[in-house]
Amino acid sequence: MSDRSTAPGDDDQESTDRPDDDRGRTPKKKRPFWVELPILIGVALVLTFVIQTFLARVFVIPSESMEQTLHGCPGCTGDRVLVDKVVYVFGDPEPGEVVVFERPGTWNRSEFVSTRSDNAVLGWLQGVGALFGLAAPDEDDVVKRIVAVGGQTVECCDERNRVLVDGKPLDEPYIYWDPAQERLQQEFGAIRVPDGKLFVMGDNRNNSGDSRTQGGGGDNGFVPVDNVIGKVRVIVLPPSRWQGVGDHNPQALSAPAWQTGIPMGVGIAAAWPTLWLGRRVRGILRGSDR
């Protein structure tokens, strides 16, 4: 029999003195917001970098050559577009698709001049901004629409002013005619596209430096498939321009309706993995604070 007597209420006092933590440890103090914020920003930047390097990237459209499919005209807000970098891992570029590619070495000029600062620090910041779609890209990144692929023969024009591929006229509802210019395409003779190359043109047909003229045209105007960065899927900014970018096949007699435009939901679906990853990381960081 114990000599220790227990006074009424002692058990209640002991239970009150115990830590709330089930494991008998005092919970860690949560990090202040000013400490957590840089961590979250750093993680978000790393995730964004990984996604834009391997999956999808946002590009700024600085040139008017793709009007009015993509805005890049002087005086207007240049579109920010989401470029799918995975699609061509599983297949080849097809006619009608709008693609971003590295300017071939045979092309002799760019359609715009990137305003990079001579200051090393500012120039680096502008480069980072371009990576995240916040600044104009390097002038070696170009956006055009594929008209013909390797093995096909392209020429212009027939009696109705249409481009021909393998002797058949193209159906090109996306062409934009500058009101200040004549509705007449530049003529060029038949030329066969080599395997592994692309023949590209701008939708703003009379204001585009493309496969017809770059490098003097001919063989120098082709774009190597290996230069293609990805397929333009959707316009993400400005909000007033939210829409899909169609990949109407101009070589098809009648394209399916879904090819005339990709719903804005595709853009939301593309953004969802980023949001999900961000929330997961935030949850893990919060869990480590406990």
Q: Report the b/e string of 146-174 with b at 16+ CB within 10 A.
A: bbbbbebebbbeeeeebbbbeeebbbbeb
- Whether 163 contacts 205, CB under 8 Å: no
Of 68, 67, 96, 100, nearest to 81 (Cα)?
100
- Residue length of the chain: 290
Are the C-beta atoms of 61 and 78 separated by less than 8 Å?
Answer: yes
DSSP state, residue 24 = S
Catalytic residues: 65, 144
Q: Cα separation of 19 and 47, whole Å?
A: 38
Question: What's the half-sphere exposure (Cβ side, CA atoms, 13 Å) at 192?
Answer: 3
Token couple for 267: 């853009």
CB 70 within 8 A of CB 143: yes
Alpha helix (H) ranges present in the chain? 10-17, 33-54, 120-131, 264-288
What is the residue type of 28? Answer: K
Closest CA to 145 of 107, 96, 186: 96
Nearest to 83 by CA among 143, 123, 43, 28: 143
